[in-house]
Chain A
Amino acid sequence: MLRNNGPRKDLTNLIGHLTATIVMNEREEEFYRRSGEATTRDDIKTIMLEIAGNLAQSRLQLEAHREILRQALSQLVS
Chain B
Amino acid sequence: MNSASTPSSGRTKIKYKIHWHIFLIHFPIASFLGAFVFMGLHLFTDNNCFALAAYVSLITGTIVMLPTTATGWFTWKNRYKGSRGDLFLNKIRIAFGMIALSVVLTIFQTVFPFDFLDVRHSLWHFLYMTGVTLLMLGAVAEGYYGSRLHHR
A44 to B150, Cβ gap below 8 A?
Answer: no
Specify the main secondary structure of chain A where it touches its partner: helix
Whether B5 lies near A39 (C-beta < 8 A) is no
Give the interface residue-count category, chain B: 20 to 34
Which secondary structure dominates chain B's binding surface?
loop
Q: Mark A23-40, 1 if CB is under 8 A from B, else 0.
A: 110110011001100111
Find out whether the CB atom of B85 lies under 8 angstroms from the CB atom of A35.
Answer: no
Interface string of A10-50 (1 = CB under 8 A from B): 00111111011001101100110011001111111100000
Cβ contact within 8 Å between A20 and B17:
no
Any A CB within 8 A of the CB of B13: yes
Q: Mark B11-36, 1 if CB is under 8 A from A, else 0.
A: 11111110100000000000000000
Q: Say yes or no: A40-B5 contact (C-beta < 8 A), given A23-B79, A23-B80, A34-B17.
A: yes
Given the interface pairs A16-B85, A19-B81, A34-B17, the reply to whether A41 lies near B150 with Cβ below 8 Å is no
**B58 → chain A closest CB, angstroms:** 32
* Interface of chain B residues 12 through 70 with chain A (CB within 8 A): 12-17, 19
A15 to B89, CA, bound (A): 13
Residue B120 at the chain A interface, CB threshold 8 Å: no
The residue that B11 contacts in the complex, of A9, A12, A40, with Cβ under 8 A, is A40
Query: Is A13 touching B11 in the complex (CB atoms < 8 A)?
Result: no
Contact B149–A20 (Cβ < 8 Å): yes
Q: Is the CB of B150 within 8 A of A38?
A: no
B28–chain A nearest beta-carbon distance, Å: 21
A74 → chain B closest CB, angstroms: 13
Q: Closest CB of chain B to A32's CB: distance in Å?
A: 10
Is the Cβ of B15 less than 8 Å from the Cβ of A31?
yes
